[in-house]
């Protein structure tokens, strides 16, 4: 359980320490600012600007498309235009006209060999049957090809109609010539006729007359010598020469459908001017503005509500996760100063993403990868902790997929979102244990490498990746990691100074022995310097045993006694066995000199602009402890003089304040332990345990831990850690009991355990 007894002075200090950093109203204001920041960062993508424009009015300014938009009406018009531009399709039908001529000659040959029929009757039969042979041949062809894949039904119907309209009428005198033809003449005429018909129907004919006009020339050039034969063949050839190229309605309709399908949608790209200043608002323009939700009179607030809810979710996620993972130590909880710093980091990172998004163009389509998204995760992890760095990385991932989504095909751009996730989490995980500034550059290189691999993977997955575009994307991503590292290195001092943040990087810098104060401590008070190093070792191990900041304890220990440089010889570790000035001073004066070193150390640290946590350790490591030696010396002197002592115990106490953090309390304990153990010539393990226990118990009974939230269990762990570290540090001086002195005994729990 916690032993936390606070008096009135402790309450006042707690209230003073809280101030605006713990104010509930300030906390709510900061959360509202988070919501506002997220809203304005996403509203420009999700909520288009609206305009007060009426039909028939004049636009006072250029209106640009807030996002890519498909103009349905213009697309439909383009499709209709494409269909209209499709030329009528004519298909060729292979009628094999020479076969029809063969049938005619076969009928003539058959009928001429029949002696039972008179010539006059034969003429009547020819007059009736020869034209009918053409119709029957076409009908048979249509029936044979109906439903086939070769010709559509509409094409066959069109063929029948066109042929019927272009049928050749054989002259009457030709029918009188046919009965007089002999078998030999028919055979010769058939051969010539087939050649002529085949030659003339080889070419596409939309008009039969085109081919029929060439018949006479070809027949006259043939081997036929008799005029009657030539004239008869000409007429029969003209009869069977039919058009073979017809308008294909079905193919034309299919082509129009295909043209519509292949017509690309009419896109209004983001940033395109859809209405120019001074332009009259026609119905088409008005309808387009309505469709794009750009009119105030048709404005809907659902997108705004959606963005607001999303902003609230982001804020609650960050705050909830941050509160859940806050350190248990009250002195290190999430203060309003930290939330304000986090707000500034988010604002800075979002601003950088928007600036990069503004540079997007057709020439640089992948410049979004240049955005230093990892900047925010790095700063949050370094200035706060890994938990906040991870949750911030998630939010930055979502924001990057929105802010960098310049194409507006979807609400979130997966490409940028995935890459942002890779670089943000890589940044947080690679830098959370950084102890040197160079680690930031190394983390930036890690971000560049992992981000480049992510970009390369996405680029290779895309269909037919362009080499130039791929190289451009990877190059931007690699530069992004380095840019983020440079910005972090430049911004870290600003946040550290402005918010009093003492990062591990800053602590490591302050631990450099070349720091002016440490060099002053080494040259002017070498004993105190060595003592401070020992205290640093003890306090760091003890702090890590209870989950406190071990590095802060170590560095704070280096500076905790810097005030002794004012009067170095008044402190025993710097006297080197020489005269002790306190032997010649009044106890109250000696006590004042000793007490002053904490206050003077704080002032000296402030003059050198060291961070407040370091100053707090210097001022608070003695708390309000009691200088017993000088008090009892004063009492003894008064007794020897036969008078009452004019001083009280309060006159020999440090002014405080008491330790306000675990780190200050631990350094104070380690300070006393190191001094006490160093004063022993040959300490034993039992002596060390007794000294540590007594120091902690005295401070506990003196209420020195009331304001730092140290529990009894933690004090017990601190005692164990200090014992182990002291034994390891002063190993050569510690006397261990001989084996013969060790007696087996039953282990018993102490009656009062520091837990």
Task: In whole angstroms, give the CA distance from residue 318 to residue 392.
Answer: 7
- pLDDT attached to residue 40: 93
Structure tokens at 239: 């009869």
Query: What's the whole-number mean pLDDT along residues 691-720?
Result: 92
Range list of H helices, 656-711: 662-678, 685-701
Residue range 283-335, pLDDT digits in tens = 777 777 777 767 766 556 778 898 999 999 999 999 999 888 876 544 446 88
- pLDDT attached to residue 313: 95
Confidence of residue 488 (pLDDT cuts 50, 70, 90): very high
**Do 246 and 162 touch, CB atoms closer than 8 A?**
yes
CA angle centred on 563, ends 547 and 622, rounded to 5°: 45
Confidence of residue 704 (pLDDT cuts 50, 70, 90): very high
| Contacts with 159 (C-beta within 8 Å, 6 or more apart), sequence order | 93, 138, 142, 151, 246
Confidence of residue 30 (pLDDT cuts 50, 70, 90): very high
- pLDDT attached to residue 319: 93
Task: In whole angstroms, give the CA distance from residue 269 to residue 68.
Answer: 4
Q: Is the pLDDT of residue 611 over 90?
A: no
- pLDDT attached to residue 13: 42
Residue range 104-145, pLDDT digits in tens = 989 998 998 888 888 889 889 989 999 999 999 999 999 988
Q: Is the pLDDT of residue 595 over 50?
A: yes
Q: Which neighbouring-strand residues pair with 280?
A: 58
- pLDDT attached to residue 753: 31
Q: Which CATH architecture has domain 506-734?
A: Orthogonal Bundle (1.10)
Task: In whole angstroms, give the CA distance from residue 280 to residue 8.
Answer: 76
Task: In whole angstroms, give the CA distance from residue 109 to residue 104.
Answer: 9
- pLDDT attached to residue 9: 43
Task: In whole angstroms, give the CA distance from residue 37 to residue 39.
Answer: 5
Q: Give the DSSP letter string of 317-352.
A: HHHHHHHHTS-SSGGGS--HHHHHHHHHHHHHHHHH
Confidence of residue 751 (pLDDT cuts 50, 70, 90): very low
- pLDDT attached to residue 11: 43
Q: Is the pLDDT of residue 628 over 90?
A: no
Task: In whole angstroms, give the CA distance from residue 560 to residue 695.
Answer: 18
CA-nearest of 592, 129, 24, 123 to 339 is 24
> How would you write 566-605 as a 3-class SS string?
CCHHHCHHHCCCCCCHHHHCCHHHHHHHHHHHHHHHHHHH
CA-nearest of 81, 327, 118, 552 to 126 is 118
Structure tokens at 21: 């950093």
Task: In whole angstroms, give the CA distance from residue 509 to residue 177.
Answer: 124
- pLDDT attached to residue 207: 92
The model's pTM: 0.64
**Do 507 and 635 touch, CB atoms closer than 8 A?**
no
Q: Among 113-117, 433-437, 498-502, which range has the highest average pLDDT?
A: 113-117
Region(s) of the chain under CATH 1.10.3210: 506-734
Q: Which CATH architecture has domain 8-44+301-501?
A: Orthogonal Bundle (1.10)
Q: Is the pLDDT of residue 742 over 50?
A: no
Query: What's the whole-number mean pLDDT along residues 176-203?
Result: 90
Region(s) of the chain under CATH 1.10.1760.20: 8-44+301-501
Q: Is the pLDDT of residue 524 over 70?
A: yes
């Amino acid at each position: 359980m916690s032993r936390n007894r606070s008096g009135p002075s402790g309450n006042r200090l707690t209230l003073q320490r809280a101030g605006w950093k713990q104010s509930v109203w300030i906390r709510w204001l900061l959360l509202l600012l988070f919501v506002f920041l997220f809203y304005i960062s996403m509203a420009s993508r999700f909520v288009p600007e609206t305009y007060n424009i009426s039909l028939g009015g004049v636009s006072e300014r250029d209106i640009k498309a807030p996002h890519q938009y498909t103009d349905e009406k213009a697309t439909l018009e383009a499709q209709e235009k494409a269909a209209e531009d499709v030329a009528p399709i004519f298909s060729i039908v292979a009628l094999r006209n020479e076969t029809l001529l063969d049938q005619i000659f076969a009928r003539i040959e058959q009928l001429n060999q029949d002696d039972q029929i008179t010539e006059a009757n034969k003429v009547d039969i020819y007059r009736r049957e020869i034209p009918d042979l053409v119709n029957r041949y076409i009908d048979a062809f249509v029936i044979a090809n109906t439903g086939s894949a070769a010709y559509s039904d509409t094409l066959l119907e069109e063929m029948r109609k066109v042929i019927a309209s272009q049928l050749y009428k054989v002259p009457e005198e030709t029918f009188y010539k046919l009965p007089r033809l002999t078998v030999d003449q028919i055979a010769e005429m058939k051969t010539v006729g087939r050649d002529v018909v085949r030659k003339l129907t080889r070419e596409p004919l939309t008009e039969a007359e085109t081919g029929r006009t060439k018949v006479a020339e070809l027949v006259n050039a043939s081997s036929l010598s008799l005029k009657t034969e030539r004239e008869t063949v000409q007429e029969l050839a003209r009869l069977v020469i039919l058009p073979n190229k017809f308008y294909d309605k079905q193919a034309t309709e299919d082509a129009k459908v295909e043209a519509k399908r292949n017509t690309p949608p009419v896109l209004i790209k983001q940033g395109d001017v859809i209405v120019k200043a001074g332009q009259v608002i026609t119905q088409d323009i008005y309808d387009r503005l309505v469709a794009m939700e750009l009119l105030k009179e048709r404005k809907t607030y659902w997108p705004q509500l959606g963005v607001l809810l999303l902003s609230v979710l982001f804020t609650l996620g960050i705050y909830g996760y941050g509160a859940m993972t806050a350190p248990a130590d009250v002195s290190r909880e999430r203060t309003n100063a930290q939330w304000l710093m986090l707000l500034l980091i988010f604002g800075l990172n979002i601003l950088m993403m928007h600036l990069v998004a503004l540079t997007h163009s057709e020439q640089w389509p992948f410049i979004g990868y240049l955005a230093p998204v990892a900047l925010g995760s790095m700063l949050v992890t370094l200035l706060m902790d890994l938990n906040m760095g991870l949750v911030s990385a998630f939010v930055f991932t979502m924001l990057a997929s929105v802010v960098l989504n310049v194409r507006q095909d979807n609400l979130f751009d997966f490409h940028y979102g995935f890459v942002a996730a890779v670089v943000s989490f890589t940044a947080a995980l690679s830098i959370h244990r950084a102890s040197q500034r160079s680690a930031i550059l190394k983390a930036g290189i890690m971000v560049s490498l992992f981000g480049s691999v992510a970009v390369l993977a996405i680029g290779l997955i895309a269909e037919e990746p362009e080499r130039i575009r791929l190289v451009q994307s990877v190059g931007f991503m690699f530069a992004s990691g380095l840019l983020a590292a440079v910005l972090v290195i430049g911004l870290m001092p600003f946040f550290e100074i402005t918010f009093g943040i003492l990062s591990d990087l800053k602590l490591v810098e302050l631990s450099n022995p070349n720091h002016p104060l440490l060099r002053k401590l080494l040259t002017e008070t070498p004993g105190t310097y060595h003592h401070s190093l020992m205290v640093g070792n003890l306090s760091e191990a003890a702090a890590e045993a209870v989950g406190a900041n071990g590095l802060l304890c170590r560095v704070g220990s280096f500076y905790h006694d810097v005030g002794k440089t004012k009067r170095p010889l008044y402190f025993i570790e710097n006297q080197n066995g020489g005269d002790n000035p306190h032997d010649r001073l009044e106890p109250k004066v000696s006590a004042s000199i000793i007490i002053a070193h904490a206050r003077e150390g704080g002032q000296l640290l402030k003059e050198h602009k060291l961070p407040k946590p370091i100053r707090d350790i210097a001022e608070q490591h003695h708390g309000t402890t009691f200088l017993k030696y000088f008090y009892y010396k004063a009492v003894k002197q008064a007794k020897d003089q036969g008078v009452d002592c004019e001083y009280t115990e309060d006159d020999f106490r440090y002014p405080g304040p008491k330790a306000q953090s675990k780190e200050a309390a631990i350094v104070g304990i380690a300070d006393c332990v190191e001094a006490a153990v160093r004063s022993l010539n040959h300490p034993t393990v039992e002596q060390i345990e007794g000294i540590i226990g007594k120091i902690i118990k005295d401070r506990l009974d003196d209420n020195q831990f009331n304001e730092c939230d140290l529990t009894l269990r933690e004090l017990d762990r601190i005692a164990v850690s200090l014992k182990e570290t002291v034994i390891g540090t002063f190993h050569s001086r510690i006397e261990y009991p001989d084996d013969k002195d060790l007696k087996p005994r039953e282990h018993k729990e102490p009656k009062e355990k520091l837990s």
